[in-house]
Amino acid sequence: MKKAAWNMVIAALVLAPVAGPARGADLDAEILQQAGITPVEYGSGWYLRGDIGWNHAVDGNLTFYSDARYDYDNQKFGEGVSYSLGVGHIFNDWFRADVTLDYSGNNEWSGSTTGTGCGVGFDADCYSVDSATYDRYSLHANAYLNLANWYGISPYVGAGVGLSHVTWNDYASVATCAVDPTETCPYGVHSGSSATEYFSGPTTSYPSADSTVLSYSLMAGVDYRIDERWKLDFGYKWTHLHGGKVVAANVNGPGAPQGDSLVDRLAIHEFRVGLRYEIW
């Protein structure tokens, strides 16, 4: 009997240091719950994300430098697809942040210069019809604010800032002339009809040029909780890139062209859909 009593005392002494903190932790959790605060375990709240986007509108302005700087008319940026991967952390029900790497490749651009004289001895209007493609990588740190939560649906807004690396490829300039009746052009002879006729001259190609520039973005969207780990995200993203080099000076020899051809900005609007996987 005495031995059993001693065993109970020893067990109580052994378990006391464990039971005390455990009970304390339970009390802490109860206090936090009553205060409306959800405790987050160490290491929880991290997530992975993947997105695919459609660049439905891109705005920008290129200027070309040959012997002087020329503006383009009728510039057009084509639509494209973007891909994004990221890792982030959920701090609470209202705030999260992540780091993302976006890629968009083989985006098309085209433009033409204003018609000018074709040179000595010719009176037709000459201009160039140019085209190129560009690739973009953007590394951004982003923060998001959830606005509400209705049955697993959460609208949000966000903003990001970082750097973008843009490479311009396949830049080609085609000399062209528009010839009215009786006018002359170095690239062709008017047939004598009453219509304006167009003739293409030589094509000048330029090597790739790249720049790393400051960029930032604004986001808005809605995410939907599929289950305790997965969320589906529908969003809209606007990204602004500051400038960049399109054709470098002297790439085709001294003075060809005499200066850098530049894009002063790229403003990219895109719809996105993605998945987030929460690691608990």
User: What tokens does 33 get?
Assistant: 């719950």
Which of 94-98, 110-114, 116-120, 218-222 shows the lowest mean pLDDT across its residues?
A: 116-120
Q: Note whether 85 and 138 are within 8 A (CB).
A: no
Q: What pLDDT is recorded for position 22? A: 43
Burial category of 54 from C-beta neighbours within 10 Å (exposed 0-12, middle 13-18, buried 19 and up): middle
Q: What pLDDT is recorded for position 16? A: 44
Q: What pLDDT is recorded for position 226? A: 95
3-state secondary structure of 100: strand
Average pLDDT, the chain: 87
pLDDT digits 0-9 by tens, 11-55: 444 344 434 444 444 555 565 456 555 554 444 789 999 999 999
Amino acid of residue 68: A
Q: Which helix (H) or strand (E) holds 124?
A: none
Total-model pTM: 0.79
pLDDT digits 0-9 by tens, 126-179: 989 999 999 999 999 999 999 998 988 999 999 999 999 999 999 999 999 999
